[in-house]
Structure 1
Amino acid sequence: MLNTPPSITPTISFRATCARALLYILIIGAMMQGVLWETGLPEKIRFSEVGFTESMQTLWLLISCLLLIYARQVLGGLPRVTLLMFGLLGAALIREQDAFLDAYVFDGAWQTLVTLLLLPILYCVLRQRHAFVREFEEFVESFAFGLFAAGFLCTFAFSRLYGRSEMWEALLAERYVRVFKDAAEEVTELFGYTLLMFAMVELVLWIRRRQARSQ
C-alpha cells in the first residue's frame, strides 16, 4: 500500500478561533457605536463622504490593501490571487474617494485611476491563468475565502439592492427621507468592508501557517 504524504493544510486551534472571534465582535461593536454617534451629527454630515461611516470604509479598504501587499510581497503567498484581490479592493478604495477626486483632480478621475489599476492586473492574471486557478483552488478551502466571499457579496450585491431608493420610498411612503436610504446602504456596505478586512487578516495568518507547516 502506498503511503500518502501528510497533509499540510493549516489548521486553527480552538483557543485562537475564540480569541479572534471575540476580537472581531469587539471591533464590530465599536464600529456600530461610531455609527450611532454619527446619527447625532448635523444632517449635511450624516452618512456623507466626510462622515464616520464612509471614513471607516476607506480605513478598512486601506488596511486590506496593505495586508494584501504584505501577503504578496513579504510572505510571497498566492501571488496571483492576492494580486487580483488587490486590484478589486484597490479599485473600491479609489471609488470611495470619487467626490474628492472629481472636485480636486478632474471630473471622472476615479474611473481613469481604476482603469489604470485594473487593466494591467487583469492582463497579468489572464497571462498566468493556469497558475491562478491552482492558487485559487488552494485558497477556496480556507476560512479567509469564506469571509472574503461573504464580504464581497454583502458589499457589492446586497448593499446595492438593500439601498435602492425605490424600496425605501415604498416602505416609508410620505415619511421618506433620503437619510434612511443612505444609512441603510452605507452601514451595510461598511459591514461588508469589515468582513473583507477580516478576510485579509485571516489570509495573512493562513499563509503564515502554511509556510510554517511546510518547513
Structure 2
Amino acid sequence: MILKQLNPIARKGLRFFLYALFTGALVLLVTWEAMHHPKADLFHEDSILEGLQAAILFFTAACAYLAGHLDTSEKPLTSVLVGAAGIAAVREFDFALDRYVFDGAWQALVTAIAISTAIHAYQNRQALKDAILDFLNRPSFGIMASGFITVFVFSRLIGRQVLWKAIMSDEYMRVVKIAVEESFELLGYSLIFIGALEFLRETLLRKDNATQPQTDAPLSSPTAQGDNPPVSIGHIPTHTP
C-alpha cells in the first residue's frame, strides 16, 4: 500500500528532476559560450544560444506532431502547435535564409506556414474548438502558457534598451541586454517544449486507458450475481415431498 502511494510521487519527482537537469544543461552551454567566444560576436544569430532555441522549437513541433498521430481527435490542435513552432523556428533562422536563399525568404516561408495552418484550422474549426476546450483543462496547457508569456511578453520587455541604459547609464553594454533577453527567450522556449512533452505524455496515457480492457463486471450484472434467481428476504421456499 505504501509503495503504491509513493510510486506516483517518485514518477513525478523523476520528471521534475529531468526537466531541471535539462534547463540546467542549457545554462551551462550558454555559460560555456560566454567564456569561449569574443564579446563582439557573443550571442549573435549564429551563436550556440540561437541554435539551442531552434533545436528546442524543432523538438516541440515533433512532440506535437506525434501526439496528433497517436490521437486523431487532437490533430486540429496539434497542427496549430506544429505551425506555431515552425513559424518561430523559421524566425530564428531568418539570417541564414536571407543570406543563403534570398532576401526576404524567411518572411515568405512564415507566410506560407501561417496560411496553410490557418486554412487547416478553419476547415476543422469545430474539432479544433473541442480539442482546445479539452487542452485548457490539461496541466500541459499551464506549462506551455507560462512559456509563451515568458517568450513573447517578459523577454521582450526585459530586453528593452531603455531599461538597460537606465541600469548601466554611461557604462551601457549592448551584449548584456542581448544576453538577458535571449536567455529568457531560451527559458520560455524550454517551458513550451516541456509543456509539449507533457502533452504527449497525457496523450499516451489516454490512449493506454482507452485500449485497456474492462475486466471488472458490475455487481448488478447477471454474471456477477450468478445464475440462481434472487430469493426474497423472509421467504421460506416450499418443497414438494
TM-based fold match above 0.5 = yes
Contact 1:83 1:121 in 2 (8 A): yes
Moved more, 88-97 or 121-130: 121-130
State, as a whole percentage, how many aligned pairs show the same letter: 33
2:121 to 121, 125, 129: 125
Larger RCO of the pair (alpha carbons < 8 Å, separation 6+): 1
Alignment of 1:81-160 (within 5 A): 81-160=77-156
Contact 1:53 1:190 in 2 (8 A): yes
Write the deviation string for residues 10-55 of structure 1: whole angstroms up to 9, x where unpaired: xx93222111000001111111111111212212331112222111
2:9 to 14, 23, 30: 14
Mark the structure with the bigger radius of gyration. Answer: 2
Letter in 2 for 1:208: L
Change (3 A) 1:196 1:77: farther
Residues in 1 aligned to 2:70 and 2:171: alpha-carbon distance in whole angstroms: 53
Moved more, 66-75 or 93-102: 66-75
The offset of 1:127, in angstroms, is: 2.6
Question: Structure 2: which 5+ residue stretches go unaligned?
Answer: 1-6, 212-241
Q: In the alignment, what sits opposite 2:33?
A: 38
The offset of 1:129, in angstroms, is: 1.7
Q: In the alignment, what sits opposite 2:66?
A: 70
* Corresponding position: 1:195 with 2:186: no
Residues in 1 aligned to 2:95 and 2:189: alpha-carbon distance in whole angstroms: 19
The offset of 1:77, in angstroms, is: 5.1
The offset of 1:73, in angstroms, is: 2.5
Residues in 2 aligned to 1:146 and 1:16: alpha-carbon distance in whole angstroms: 20
2:49 to 32, 46, 53: 53
Question: Structure 1: which 5+ residue stretches go unaligned?
Answer: 1-11
Letter in 2 for 1:51: S
Contact 2:73 2:131 in 1 (8 A): no
Moved more, 127-136 or 198-207: 127-136
Residues in 1 aligned to 2:85 and 2:73: alpha-carbon distance in whole angstroms: 18
Q: Secondary structure at the match of 2:72?
A: coil
